[in-house]
Amino acid sequence: MKMNHIGIMVGDMDQAVQFYTQVLGLRVVMGHTKVIEERESAIGRMCIAVFGEGFEGFNIAHLVTSDGIGVELFEMKNRAERHDLDFSRLGIFHFCLQTDDFATVMEKTQAYGGKVRMDIMRYHPEDDNKPAKMVYLEDPFGNLFELYSHSYEETYASDYE
């Protein structure tokens, strides 16, 4: 299988679109659109099946990474202000993007209301033939994301040099 898209809950659609485009370099393919709770359309029935009765509505925007992976941003009508990072909870807890420019992304993350959670680290500091680096950050809503310097395979493959 191929990765198609991820969905991220955000607290403010305009701020989220600005963050994900200006900081992470994603491109908008469909600007934010209002979806209301209703049973007449296929999308309405699908949303009730996913979110349950009483979700009332949300704004959605569709963005895409430079390699074509979709990112759906959801701003629910009834929502928390920030994502509570609860590492004892099961489920997806971060996504990862690959970049050659950690410093600029980290600087922009803070400038646009996000947070840098750690210093840049090398995965294999003892092996000069494995230069892969990483860092964890947060968007302005507390959603955790990671940056890698190398592909997933290059980072973890035991025979990579």
Q: Where are the domains of the chain?
A: 1-80, 92-161
Residues of the chain with pLDDT > 70: what percent?
98
Summarised one tens digit per residue, pLDDT across range 54-98 is: 888 899 999 999 999 999 999 998 877 777 777 788 788 999 999
pLDDT the model gives residue 159: 60
Q: How many other CB atoms sit within 10 Å of the CB of residue 29?
A: 11
Q: How far is CA 156 from CA 99, 125, 136, 148, in A?
A: 17, 13, 17, 11
Same fold, 1-80 and 92-161: yes
- For 8, the enclosing helix (H) or strand (E) is strand 5-9
* Distance (Å, whole) CA 154 – CA 55: 42
Model confidence at 161, pLDDT cuts 50, 70, 90, reads low
Superfamily of domain 92-161: 2,3-Dihydroxybiphenyl 1,2-Dioxygenase, domain 1 (3.10.180.10)
* Cβ-based neighbour number of residue 64 at 10 Å: 15
Task: Give me the pLDDT at residue 131, please.
Answer: 87
Please write the tens of the pLDDT for every residue from 42-57.
Answer: 888 998 999 888 888 8
Return the CATH architecture of domain 1-80: Roll (3.10)
Strand partners, 61: 73
